[in-house]
Homo-oligomer: A and B are copies of this chain.
Amino acid sequence: MSSNSLGKIFTFTTWGESHGKAIGCVVDGVPSKIPLKEEDIQSYLNKRRPGQSKFTTQRKEGDNVEILSGVFEGLTTGHPISLIIKNEDQRSKDYSDIKDIFRPGHADYTYWAKYGIHDYRGGGRSSARETAMRVAAGAIARKVIENKLKKNILIKGALVQIGKSKINYNNWNKDFIDQNDFFCPDMDVIPEWEKMILEARNNGSSLGAIIEIRCNGIPAGLGEPIYDKLDANLAKAMMSINAVKGVEIGSGFKSVSILGEENVDEIRIENSKPKFLSNNSGGIMGGISTGQEIIVRFCVKPTSSILTSRKTIDKYMNEVEISTKGRHDPCVGIRAVPVGEAMMATTLADHCLYLL
């Protein structure tokens, strides 16, 4: 079986396969009377859409979203919002040569082991195509948060590492993020990254990446201990994205190398309110938001869709070799940036609705 819904009050359920007729989702738990139109969602989908940059996949998808329910005269009704994107790239490509082969490093074998079905058309349900609907749900989630908190919030992701090359945090320029093909906040690292990507493409190889998502404007109090802590749910949300193998909050793994007295976020008063002197906690303490910036990082492994031939097996337990044909996407992590933003948004929206 499977489980395709996330969230407890603000919930969304996605459906659809990479090369099926369409993909879609149903977003439930949205309060009524929030203005919503297709363009609000489309703008985020455009950010994720493949085929836009020479640095990402060339699959052509218009990714045009259509709202089928839950909006009446421009306002949400409080009822489920059904979204659909018809697959354009559904052409019956010839899969006969890889039909029975499990691509290594993909979910082909585990899906087959579990379900006894092998949807060889781009991985079927396990394809990252599903993440388009996360981005769509995330667009609605942003509106829910702002409606509930009665203020603007900013959720913004950035690429902070490709392969072994990290950004210099001192160069962080928020505005620059949307002005380059990498969602990179550090102008200086761009030439190196361009070179790395093109090299990986030419070598038929691929590179991993680290994405950092930040959210400003969330007040103290979001998160439901002990088992719906905000950080725990963010970790789940991020880890559920394809190819993600690690998640950390605030200083994360780095905090291990810091002494306790350095790691403590000390508190002072400013304008009669608590002011933290540092943010090693990443804005979450005891599973509850502190009012500081929320900071989550996750890593995306280098894709296994590469031109280099790799050893694997087929359904009949024969040993074979396989390599991806044609152009490939040397750093899938780039496109995970808007997806990570969306997961932050849906998680926060769900927790917002718990506030009494």
Contact = CB atoms under 8 A, between A and B. Distances in A.
Interface of A: 1-6, 8-9, 11, 13-17, 20-24, 26, 28-33, 68-70, 72, 75, 77-82, 84, 102, 104-107, 109-111, 113-117, 119, 124-126, 130, 148, 161, 163-164, 200, 205-210, 220-221, 223-229, 231-240, 242, 245-253, 255-261, 263-269, 272-274, 277, 280-282, 285-291, 299-306, 308, 310-313, 317-319, 353-354, 356
Nearest to A78: B115
Given A267-B104, A302-B255, A13 B1 contact: no
Given A28-B2, A78-B2, A249 B249 contact: no
Contacts of A242: 286
Contacts of A13: 5, 13, 26, 28, 80
A156 to B, nearest CB: 21
A259 B3 contact: no
Contact of A247 (B247, B256, B257): B247
Contact of A288 (B6, B110, B291): B110
Contact of A263 (B15, B285, B302): B302
A183 B181 CA distance: 46
Given A1-B78, A4-B225, A229-B239, 4 more contacts: A4-B79, A207-B256, A258-B302, A264-B304
Given A69-B20, A221-B110, A104 B266 contact: yes
A278 B203 CA distance: 22
A300 B254 CA distance: 10
7 contacts: A1-B224, A4-B226, A105-B260, A109-B267, A248-B299, A256-B299, A268-B313
A248 B245 contact: yes
A183 to B, nearest CB: 16
Given A15-B69, A105-B263, A260-B206, A110 B290 contact: yes
A79 B228 CA distance: 12
A267 B15 contact: no
Contacts of A310: 261, 264, 266
Contacts of A163: 256-257, 259
A164 B79 contact: no
A282 B128 CA distance: 20
B4 A80 contact: yes
A186 to B, nearest CB: 16
A217 to B, nearest CB: 16
Given A102-B267, A239-B229, A288-B114, A356 B31 contact: yes
A227 B117 contact: no
The 10 closest A-B pairs by CB, nearest first: A107-B286, A206-B260, A246-B248, A208-B256, A236-B236, A260-B302, A3-B228, A110-B288, A235-B239, A113-B220
A310 B290 CA distance: 18
B267 A247 contact: no
A31 to B, nearest CB: 6
Contacts of A232: 236-237, 239-240
A208 B312 contact: no
A117 B2 CA distance: 31
A235 B257 contact: no
Contact of A301 (B115, B246, B247, B255): B255
A125 B260 contact: no
